[in-house]
């Protein structure tokens, strides 16, 4: 079973998958005694309605073979708890992700990612009992734009996350 080393997330490492949404190393737009505000963490330039969802994932074995993508929308995963996120870059001409390009990133509470259209990803893996995320994408994406593939069925491949 191939192992995927979990990396600390940074904008440089995440660029091929989308944008990192974090306030780390970014100046605040406003810093007052009672609040601090950062703007411009990411941009959604679309002509349709978006929906906001809530995802809760439970602790489980750190293996996976399934990945999904959305060809018609970008997607935000904003972490409320610490987790690991498996991803693979968008490849519009392929019907499944390139197994050699699958990576995994540790994501901290209070930061998020804005996936590019078609970016392959799977459910986050909690580093505690559970992890919660706000999820934002085009309205009706789960019903109209969800493409899943099981690499165990397709290529006889399953992946294990290396958390060391």
The per-residue pLDDT string of the chain (164 residues; one tens digit each, 9 = 90 and over) reads: 899 999 999 999 999 999 999 998 889 999 999 989 999 888 888 788 899 999 999 999 999 999 999 999 999 999 999 999 999 999 989 999 999 999 999 999 999 999 999 999 999 999 999 999 999 999 999 999 999 999 999 999 999 999 98
With 0-12 / 13-18 / 19 or more C-beta atoms within 10 angstroms meaning exposed / middle / buried, residue 24 is exposed
Fold of 3-162: Jelly Rolls (2.60.120)
Contact 101, 120 (CB under 8 A): no
Cross-strand partners of 2: none
Q: Please report, for the chain, the start and end positions of each structural domain, with discontinuous segments joined by +.
A: 3-162
Residue 154 phi/psi, 5-degree rounding, is: -80, -45
**b/e 130-159 (16+ beta carbons within 10 angstroms → b):** ebbbebbbbeebeeebeeebebeeeeeeeb
Q: How far apart are CA 164 and CA 155, in angstroms?
A: 26
Which run of H or E residues covers position 63? strand 63-64
Q: How far apart are CA 104 and CA 125, in angstroms?
A: 10
Q: What local confidence, expressed as pLDDT, does residue 97 receive?
A: 96
Q: What local confidence, expressed as pLDDT, does residue 47 receive?
A: 83
- Coil vs helix vs strand at 122: coil
């Amino acid at each position: 079973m191939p192992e995927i080393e979990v990396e600390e997330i940074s904008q440089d490492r995440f660029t091929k998958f989308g944008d990192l949404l974090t306030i780390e190393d970014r100046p605040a737009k406003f810093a007052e005694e009672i609040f601090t505000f950062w703007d411009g963490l990411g941009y959604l330039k679309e002509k349709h309605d978006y929906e906001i969802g809530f995802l809760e994932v439970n602790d489980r074995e750190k293996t996976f073979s399934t990945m999904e993508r959305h060809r018609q929308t970008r997607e935000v995963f904003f972490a409320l708890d610490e987790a690991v996120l498996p991803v693979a870059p968008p490849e519009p001409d392929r019907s499944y992700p390139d197994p050699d390009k699958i990576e995994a990133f540790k994501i901290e509470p209070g930061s998020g990612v804005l996936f590019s259209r078609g970016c392959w990803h799977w459910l986050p893996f909690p580093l505690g009992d559970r992890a919660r995320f706000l999820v934002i994408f085009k309205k009706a994406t789960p019903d109209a734009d969800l493409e899943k593939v099981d690499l165990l069925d397709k290529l006889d491949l399953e992946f294990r996350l290396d958390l060391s």
